[in-house]
Structures are given as C-alpha cells and as structure tokens.
Chains A and B, each alone.
Chain A
Amino acid sequence: MWRMLASILIDIPHFLIHPRRFRWRETLEALSTLGAGSFQVITLATAFAGIVITHEMAWHMQKALHSVAMVPGMSAQFIVRELAVAVPALLLVSKVGASLTAEIATMKITDQIDALRLLGINPLDYLLYPRLIACTVAGGALTLISILVTLLCSVATARAYHFSPPEYLALAGHFMKLTDVIQAVIKGSTYGAIIPIMSCAYGFCCRGGAEGVGHTTTQSVVASTLCVIVLDFILTMLFSLI
C-alpha cells in the first residue's frame, strides 16, 4: 500500500508537466458525479451544523460573559475557519472516498485494471487524475458553498437572540477577512485532493474478493479521515503562523 501511495505521489508531478495526459471528458464527468452528487448531503448537513454551532456559541457566551453580544462574531469566525471546512471534508470522505475506493477495488478484483493496462492505457490517467482534479475543484467549491449555507443558517438562528440579519453581518464583518475565506478554500481543496489519492492507493492494492473490497473501503475511509484531521491541524498551524 505504501509503495502504491509513493508511486502515485511521484507520478503527480509527471502528470502536471505533461498536459497531454489530461482527459477532459472524464474530468467533467467526475466533477458532475462527485461534486454535484455530494452537494445535497453536504448542504443539508452543514446547515444543521450551522444551527447547532450558533446555539452552542450563545450558550458559551451566556456562561462566560452573561451576554450574547458576541455571538455573531464568534460563530461566524468559527464557521469560516473550522466548521464549514472540516464537516464538508469529512462528509466528502465518506461520500466520495468510500464509493471511489469501492469502485476501484471492485475493478481491481475483477481484473479490469489489468485489462486497462493491456489496452495500453495508464490506469492512473483514467482513474485517478480526472477524479483528483474534480475533487480538488469540488472541495474548494463545496467549502465555499457550505460557508455560505452555514452562515445563512447561523444568521437565521441568531434571530432567536435578537440579531437582525444586517446587524449580524455587520458584527461578523468586523472579524472576517477575505484571507479567512481564501484559507478555507485552500483547506477545502487540499482535503478534496487527499481523497482520490488515498482511494486509489488503497483500491489498487485490493485483494481477495468481496471481503477484500469491504475491508479496503473501510481502511481507505479511516485513512482519509485521519489524513483530513491531521492536515487540518498542520494547515491551521501554518495559517496561524502567517
């Protein structure tokens, strides 16, 4: 598995300097199935998360300062910096990562990947790169969308604490900069890129029938989730140093 991961990582620069390996049709197809397919689930889930986090922040503010005056600032910051980035990424792992790994693993155990090789097609060109690009783009885009949706839900929830929407946005605007959003999008794209790499690395190493497919999928989901969490830590650390 590690050897597979290493060979994929080594192959990525080669792909980047050889644009002829890029396949438009597959990429667009992957973008529509992966990005648009996850859109509904992620939107709905982050909407709930936005409602919950606003209530939680209000609870904390009430405990700490005996006032809810800072709820917009705190919850908006928390949403943009962490919540609307981590939750969609983790959902994307389960939604895209699991299905990708299952698909690739199934192809592997039914010898379809070897068939591709026989036809003279590099399986990475066909399976990985279109999805890698699609997931990177979709990760950034879904992060932006979920920031928007979560903030909207937070605004709606804050009405319960007597913040009108313009008031909320004005208060939140004090603490939000464009760099925050840009950092969030960078994070989202990075997590998106991790998912197909891990899926392919695990899927190409799948062995042993239906049982193998199940285990590979499980391992891939766990590894991707861990990667997202650790990368989140590293990126947050990096951005906090800037």
Chain B
Amino acid sequence: MTEVLVLVGIALAAASGFFGLLFRRDSSAGQTLCTSIAVAGALSGLAGVAWFFATGTSRPINVPWSLVEGAAFHVGLDGLSAFFLVPIFLISLLGNVYGLGYWKQSEHPTTGRKLRLFYGLLTAGMALLVVARNSILFLFGWEIMALAAYFLVVTEEEKPAVREAGWIYLVATHAATLCLLGVFGLLRGASGSFTLVALSSGSVSPGVATAIFVLALVGFGLKAGIMPLHVWLPGAHAMAPSHVSAMMSGVLIKMGIYGLVRVTSLLPDPPVAWGGTVLALGVISGVLGVAFAVGQHDLKRLLAYHSIENIGIIVMGLGLALLGRSLGRVDWVVLGLAGSLLHIWNHALFKALLFLSAGSVIHAAGTREIDHLGGLARKMPWTALAFLAGAVAICGLPPLNGFVSELLIYLGLFRTLGFGKEPSLAGAAFAVPALALIGALAVACFVKVFGAVFLGTARSQHADHAHESPRSMLVPMAVLAGCCLAIGLAPQIAAPVLAKGISAWAPNVPSVAQQLSSLAPLNWISIMGVLLIAGLAAGGALLSMRLRRSVVEKGPTWGCGYVAPTPRMQYTSSSFAQMLVLLFGWALRPRTHRPKNLPLFPRQGDFHSEVPDPALDEGLLPAFRFSARLLSWFRVFQQGNLQAYLLYIFIALVALLLWR
C-alpha cells in the first residue's frame, strides 16, 4: 500500500507537466490542470508516507529490469526514505500552488509550460532516488533530478547570467555523477550486487571503504553544497524562479545529504577520521557560508549562501553521529542524527518559506537588489510577516523550529566533552562555539535583510509601487510558517519519525525512541515555547493598553536635528554588514570600486562593493583555464562532424573486442 501510493505520487508528478503541453501557450486551463495533477500526486505520496509512519510496514516492490545486468526496479521504504519523502512532496505541493500566481501562464507564455513540465519531473526524480533500493535505479532518479533542475535553472535562458549559472550547475552535477558511478561500482564490488544493502563487517577492506566514503563525500557533497564544493549553488539558486529556488534549496540539495546518510549507513565500522572530517567540513561550511551571506547584496544569492550554512549544520550533526558510531557512543548517534535529520526538515520548511516570500518581494518590486528595496512591511504586511517567521526560524531562535534541531546538535556536541567518567573527544567540543558563532552571524544577516527590505522607507520607485501578492502565493507561505511554529512548539510530533530514521541508519542502537526522549528535553521546549508566546502576548497587551491611555503623537524620525532626511540617507544593507565583512575579510576578500584622485570639491563619483566567490573565481575557473590550455592539443580529435565521432566509437569497439 505504502509503495503503491508513493509510486502513484511519483507517476502523477512526472506526468503532470506533459498535460500542459497539450494546451495553447496563453491558455490558463493547462496550468490549472497541471497543478491539480501535481497536487494530487503530492497528496498521494504524502498519504503513502503517512501510511508507512502509521503502520511501519513496507513491502518492497522488485521487478527485474533488463537495462543493465543487475539493474532492477526495486523500490522500498524505510525510516530514512520516508523521512526524506516528506519535504519532497510537501514543498512540491506548495511550490506548485505558489507557481499559479508567481509564474502565470498568461504572463509567461513561452516558459510556463516548460517550467511546469520540469518541476514535475524534478519531484518525480527525487522521490524515485529516495525510494530506490537498487543503485542503477538510484542513478536513474538522480539524473532525472539533475537534468530537470538544469532546465529549471535556465528557465529564463535569454539572459546571459542565467545561462552561465546553468552551465556551472551542469558541470558540477556531472562531476558529482562521475563520483557516484565510482561509489556504486565499488559498492557492487564489495557486496556483489547493485542492491543497496548494508555491508557486513569485514566484507570490505578498509582501503575500499575509505575510497567509497571519499567518493561519496565529494559526489554527494557537490550536490549538497558543502564548502568548498558549493561553487554552483549561489548562482543557480539566485537565477532560478523563486519557487524553483525553494525546491532546490529546500529539497534538492538535501538529496546530497540523503546520499551521504544512505552510503554511510551501508558501510560498516566507520573510523574516527570519517566523522572528524565530516564534522570539520560542517563547521567550515557553516561559518563561511553565513559569513559569505552577510556580504551579499542580492536577496536570493544571500539566501543561497544561507543554504550552505544550514547544510553545514546538518553535516555537523551527521559527523557527530558518525563519531558516535566509531566510538560506540549511542548518545552521540541519537542526538547528532536526530538534530541532523530534524534540521533537514526544518531547513526545507523555513528556507522554502524564505524563498517564497523573497519571490513575493521580487514579484512585487521587480528587483533582487536589497539596497533598492525598503519599507515593504507597509505595502506587503503578510509577506513581511512570512519572511520574519522564516528569518526567526533560520536563526535558530525560539519558539520556532530551527531552535529545536540546533538544540539537539548542541546537546550532542557538548556530550563530546565526556561527562563524568565517560571518555571525551575534546576536539569535537570546539564545534560548540563555532555553532554559536554561526547563530550570531545568522541573526546579524537576517536583521540586515529584514530591516533593509521590509523596514524603513522605500529606496527606489520599484519598492514604492509594490503591492501584496495574490492569495495563491500567500497560502503556501502561511502553511510553511504554520509548520515552522508547529515543530517549534510541539517537537514531540517529530520524535517518533526521527526515531525511525535513526533506527534505519544505525540498526544496532537499542530503543531509540526512549533514548531520544530521555536525552532531549522536548516537553520542556514546548512549555518554554508556550510561555514565551504567552509572555509576548501579555507584554504586547500591556504596552498597547498603556499607549491607549496616554497621548500618542506621530512625527518624523529623529534625525539629530536634521530636518530634511531622504530615503537614500537610510543605513543600507552594505553599510550594515561592513564591519562583519571586514572582520571576515581574510576569507571573503571583498572588492570595492571607488573613484580615484578625487579633486578638492568632488562633483560626482560612484562606489560599489561586492563579495565574489573566491572558490569559483580564484580556484576553479583558473584551474579550468589552465587545464584547457594544457589539453589544447587534444582538440585535434574534436572535429565537430558526426562521421569522425562514429569512427572513434567504431575504433574503440574494435579495440575492446581485440582486448577481450
């Protein structure tokens, strides 16, 4: 039943966009039909997952498939698959509804149908790879996902910047696939089949296991956007339409994490170095991700860097769990993996919320430049509230969901100190202040964005003429904000699901659910959350009561005596971030352009600053240019005519035949 519902969901999602192709370009009937089918598919998928969580039963479907020797259409659900299916179907559902207002077929006649087609395929590809129990089928889903995402990124392909971002993404995703071919090839060598089963201890040599781990870390890390493998992520997220960004940032990059979680669950006896590496990478991604975010001027690029930060937090939890498995520490496994998994859900919820509300801003004001916006809270109060909820959640602040998962990871990391007589792993404990730094930087960054975009007064004509978005865009945001609040106030609802995920990852941990409830103060989180909200309501009531009883006047903002302020005099987001950008100047390498040799009374000048991505601009691109120069002799073979390539294939085949 579970598998059937999920497969129906996958099939409907995959098919949804094709129906749109039957309609005329400017017809809105096609968009309604596509969205209805996609929503039905997502609901069917969610029903399947709910069935699995309720009954806990799964009957894998295994149909032989003569595509490649060893390939099979083998799908099944376990705690991990079901866990990752929830954000896939939920965000897809909400994104589809949001698209009705955001990317209307009547406003985008040339791209609307294409976008819906690949949106459905992206959902189907991700759901397929998560339920796949055969590595060929996994790669099949992986490539559908990767290619559909490429076509979604280049939706507005007429713009050069979009094409460039799409191209970098395409290169990165294929590099990832190359690594995965290595991973699954080596796994098949160790287990003897393409079926994804846990390897027994001793069935794989340490060298091969490490090779599998490293390839998986690079391949899946490229997709997840772990620093320094994140080069494709900021551009692709910024250039895609916002509900696509929500899907990519909320769900697609988590497929990299899924792969990493799945492969580490298959490998026996991880050495300490693995967990240590993963934890260190998490810290680097977290701190540098948020530091780069602080320096951005583009609203969606900024959110994209925050995805890297949150992937860092997720990876920190995973690293801790791996360390726990190496050293036999059940509490590290439970808290680390519970925090990591819950943060995956949470990040999907609040990052989708942030991208959707950013989309609402872009839809209304027509610009992504933070410093051209301002004062939108008056014109778009609901969007502002949604963005605020997302911002508070992503900073990990109570009473929303981000706090719960970060708390779990904190609790686990503190335990590496070794309480009482337990052995300690002192190095890991220094991830605690790093996580605190990440949290404080995130607060700085989101105060900056929220303040510059929604508060104060409009800095440009665009922002001045903004209007609230239609209901089809607001409702998905409201649902996401509601989910953030629900997990923040009642994390107990996620606990059994987390326990199932942990059991699937580390089957030898006994009674996970009890461990989790004894290690994590989930009930107290609810109590404190309710107290906080009640206190805020009481405080607000008190203040408004006092204000009603006293004289309240309106006046201009106090300008320290200056009486003719203009919106351009407001503190910009770049000035807000300047001190932090300078503090992290060693990593961010900010570039400023200012007029040189100013005369005594300067007339006109312009100044601008930017924080480019050094990993791409100074690392990868020069390396690629160098190798291109090095390998230029190879161009002799690139004739560009089909006959020559057919000849090469023929020669290669003959050579292989002779070699056999």
Q: Do A and B bind each other?
A: no
**Which residues on A are within 8 Å of B, measured CB to CB?**
none
